Structures are given as structure tokens and as C-alpha cells.
Structure 1
Amino acid sequence: MSLPASLSEPAEPPCGTAAPDQQTAVDKALVLLKSLAEEDREIGVSELARRAGLTKSTAFRLLGILRRNDLVERVGSNYRLGTQLIDIGNRVCGPTPMLLQERLLPYLADLYELTHETVHLAVLRGTEIVYVNKIHGHRAARSPSRIGARLPAYCTGVGKALLAFDHDATEAAVAAGLSARTEYTLTDPGSFRADLGRIRQDGIAYDRQEAVLGLTCVAVPILGPAGRPVAALSVAGADHRFDPARFAPALRRVAYAATRVVTAAKARHSAPSGLDGLPAA
């Protein structure tokens, strides 16, 4: 026998569908955090309130609570994400990205020294890539890449470098749909698979304004034993001045050295779960 409607538990509303007048304080605080996560810069309370659809006094009060819990930091009169939230985000991604970040940081630094452009380290999670480290160049182009940020793998250089060596993830990405993020995004499954085939042969992936207009990058995978992808490195710059092919040799050298370290480390450990959180082959 079913319970009367007044006694049964209310159905949980779909994520993100709460009407403004139904938002709890938690909903409003999360909207503020998401607004901060959309930018690489600090944002003032008035702008945050406008983006979140809140009054300035409500935004200010909630930011004070978030600040006391180290989820946001105040810089002058502006705000940015706090270190506690960044730590939580890293733990959500699991141990592998953090350990890769530490183990492969020297190679990311080497790549920066060779190029003096913006460089990235990313891992594959399902059909998305997660940026686990980034070093800005002096002429950094505007980019959605931030440490901890996720983007669809199919339209990024690091994503395609990883998908090229992961058949199951590739098919999942195609099945989910290759929607156009720019006019240059590869949306035809046949063309996309052909591009991945070329990447498997050359070992080099390119994103020519496929994720963001004006941004170009070149990427290489870091492969573990049996040729399985562990992570990817990339160099990125503004399309009007950046020649990605110029940096392919530097990427190859750094990725080769990083791959040797990952392979040697795996060979010293035989745990099925992988070395220090690195994916098992």
C-alpha cells in the first residue's frame, strides 16, 4: 500500500532545476562558487551577486561563511576560490592526478623551459580531460584550462592524444555526440576517427581552435606499459602567432623521458591497482 502523498518523502528535484525562490542557502553558496570557478581572476561581490542572481547583501553574507571555511579567499575587495576547495577538488579526482602532478611536474617544467609558452598536464576521466597542472607563459592566451577544470576530450589536444590510445573512451565520446564548440571542431565521427588514427601514427595531436576560438595547441601522450595512456602534455598559444608544429620536437623529447620514468616505475611494482595510483596496464 502506498503512503499518502503528505507522508511520503518528496522526490528530489533534478540537479540545477530549483527555481530562484526555492533556492536554499546551500544552493546560493554553490552558485557563487561556480561563478568563481568560471574565471582565472578575482571577482568583486557586486559582479558575483549579479551572476548568481542574488542581492549584494546575500552574496556578501554567504561569501563570509565560505571564507570562514577556507572555501573562498578575499583579495582586497574581490574574491577567489580558497585553498580548501581546491584540495577538495583534487581529492574528488582521486589519487592518480595528484600523484601524477607530483611525479611529472619536473617534465612539465622542462617543457616550459624549452618553449616559454603555456604548458599543461592532463589526464582522461571517462570522455573528459582533467587538467592536473599548468604553467603560464608570458604571452598566455585566454583559455578555459585551469587546474582541476574539465573539458570534453574530443576537442582538445590533450584529449585527442589520450583518446587515440583508448578505444573504449573514443567510442564513448562518439556515442555521446561530437557537438561543435567552434566552427573548427571535428563533429563527423569518420573524420574524428581518422584524426585519431593519424595521432596514433605520428604521436602528435593538434587542437586548431577546436575547443576555443583563437587558441591552438599541440599535445603528446605519456604512455605506460602496453601502450596505455597515462597522461598527456601540451603547449598552447594564441592562434594568430602560435605555430604548434614548431614545438612538436620538444614535446616528443619530454614525453619520451616522462614515459620512460612511468614505465620503469611500473616495472618495479606489480600491484594490480598500479604504482602509486598510476593506472594499471
Structure 2
Amino acid sequence: MTSGASEGSALRTLRVLEAVARPGGPHRLGEISAATGIAKPSTHRILGGLTGSGYVVGDGDGAYGLGPRSYALSATIASAEDTGGDTVLRRFQSEVDQTVHVALRSGDHAIYVRKVDSEGPYRMASRIGGVLPLHCTAIGKAVLAHLPDEERAGLLRGLPARTERTLTDPAALERELAQVRADGYALDDEENEPTIRCMAAPLLDRDGRPVGGVSISTITFQTPKEALLVHSARLVETAALLAPLYT
């Protein structure tokens, strides 16, 4: 293959990735093909490569959205600059003195795109680009609580237990999500990892749809639940400040 052909292939791949990233996704094959001007068979082949490498994910129904590697790349590029979001998040972290995260939804999971570590002796194992389930994490439950009923119901099937505290019964989880909507924030009380307790508020777009969440993560033997809950109002305020930067 000549260098010109290689460059052409790379640019076509980028065009497809840009089409997947357009607002209003996930997007179906026909939409992506029309947006790029690339024939459907070629678009499908490019999407296969992007899906296999983690830059794109399929929703299981023939539509495509950005994958974890795209979000991780975006976060890496953005972190090179002190954006307004970084300033807000770092100020918030200094106030609560705990590790804080931002994660964005991608299909049936969410992906960490921001992390500011606590200066305490313990470090969270989470990383930018890391994938987290929706049903047993604070950010995930903040997202689920604000999805349309039918869409949420489709995600509350076959829920795996990550710890002995994970809620796997859809009806029980639905009751908790109703409380999340009332409170404005969600809790993960050692449901995803033992000894880790998190609280999160959703990042909502202008139509009230969740695109992700911002969280505070704590070590249970260091920080009592009551000490975490003290920050709930400030967490909700911070999510409202950050939401326009991610929607």
C-alpha cells in the first residue's frame, strides 16, 4: 500500500469517528455513511476496526457510540490545558479533601474522563479511561435514575454481583433509583468494590438527559458515611457547573 493510500484510509477512519461523535448519538450505520459520504460497506468495515480497538462501541441494536479509548484520548488531550472544568473540579476536590471523578456514559457502562486524587495516604485504583458498570456505582446509578423508564428497564437485566452488597434485583434497584431522583445524588456503599464508598450527582443536558456524573470516592474505614453525605449539596452544585462542559 502506498503512503497516499495509507493517508486516505486514515482520514476516512477519522471521518467515521467524527460522525460517530456527533451530538444526538448513538448513530446508525446509514446515518454515519450519509454524514461521511462513504459507502455503507466501507463504513461498516471501518466501524468494525474502530469497535475492535475500543474507539467505538455498538449498542446491540445497530447503532454506534464512542468507546472508552475515544474518551480516554479526549481526556488526555483536554488535561494538557487548564480548562474551566479542571478548575471547578480541582477546587471541589480541595473542599472535600477526597478523590473526585468525572465519568461519561457510553452505552451500558461509563468511562472515567477526569480524576483528581486525594492527598491522603490511600490512592484509588481508578484511572482515566477506566470502565465502570452502571448498576453498582454511584455515577452509574445517578445516570440510570435519570434515563427514560423504558431505556432504564432495558439496562436492569441480568445484573451481576460485584460484591456481597451489590443490588441485583431490578425492583429493589428501581426503588433506590427513585430515591436518587428525589435526593439529587446516588450512593455506592461498597457495592462495586469492598471498602470503597462513593457519592455522585448526574451531569444532565438541557433536556434533562444524563450524560455522566461527578463523584466523591472515599475509603470506608477512613471516612464514615455521615462525613461523606455532608458534601451532598456541594456535589450537586458542582455537577450543575460541570454539566454544560460535557453536553
Using the size of structure 1 for normalisation, the TM-score is: 0.56
Amino acid at match of 2:230: R
Deviations, residues 178-203 of structure 1 (Å, cap 9, x unaligned): 11110110111001111111111111
| Alpha-carbon contact 1:141-1:237 (below 8 Å) kept | no
SS of equivalent to 2:233 = helix
* Cross-structure match for 2:153: 171
> For 2:192, which of 211, 215, 224 is the aligned residue?
211
Query: Residues of 1 paired with 2:184 and 2:139: CA distance?
Result: 11
* Cross-structure match for 1:258: 242
* Cross-structure match for 2:7: none
Deviations, residues 214-248 of structure 1 (Å, cap 9, x unaligned): 00011001211121113211001111222321221
| Alpha-carbon contact 2:164-2:191 (below 8 Å) kept | yes
SS of equivalent to 1:212 = coil
* Cross-structure match for 1:152: 133
* Cross-structure match for 2:232: 248
Amino acid at match of 2:218: G
Amino acid at match of 1:180: A
| Alpha-carbon contact 1:218-1:247 (below 8 Å) kept | no
Using the size of structure 2 for normalisation, the TM-score is: 0.63
**CA distance 1:169–1:124, shift in 2 (3 Å):** farther
**CA distance 1:138–1:95, shift in 2 (3 Å):** closer
2:183 is equivalent to residue 199 of structure 1: no
**CA distance 1:104–1:98, shift in 2 (3 Å):** farther
* Cross-structure match for 1:92: 70
Q: Which runs of 5+ in 2 are unaligned?
A: 1-66
| Alpha-carbon contact 1:110-1:254 (below 8 Å) kept | no
Amino acid at match of 1:193: E
| Alpha-carbon contact 1:122-1:129 (below 8 Å) kept | yes
* Cross-structure match for 2:64: none
**CA distance 1:189–1:91, shift in 2 (3 Å):** closer
| Alpha-carbon contact 1:127-1:170 (below 8 Å) kept | no
Bigger radius of gyration, 1 or 2? 1
Deviations, residues 19-63 of structure 1 (Å, cap 9, x unaligned): xxxxxxxxxxxxxxxxxxxxxxxxxxxxxxxxxxxxxxxxxxxxx
Amino acid at match of 1:104: G
Greater Cα offset, 161-170 or 199-208 = 161-170
2:172 is equivalent to residue 180 of structure 1: no
> For 1:237, which of 208, 218, 223 is the aligned residue?
218
SS of equivalent to 2:230 = helix
Kindly tell me the number of residue pairs found equivalent between the two proteins.
174
| Alpha-carbon contact 2:71-2:113 (below 8 Å) kept | no
Cα offset for 1:130? Answer: 0.2
**CA distance 1:174–1:100, shift in 2 (3 Å):** farther
Cα offset for 1:169? Answer: 4.7
Cα offset for 1:140? Answer: 6.0
SS of equivalent to 2:155 = helix
2:115 is equivalent to residue 115 of structure 1: no
**CA distance 1:141–1:251, shift in 2 (3 Å):** same
**CA distance 1:94–1:138, shift in 2 (3 Å):** closer
Q: CA RMSD in A?
A: 2.6
**CA distance 1:178–1:234, shift in 2 (3 Å):** same
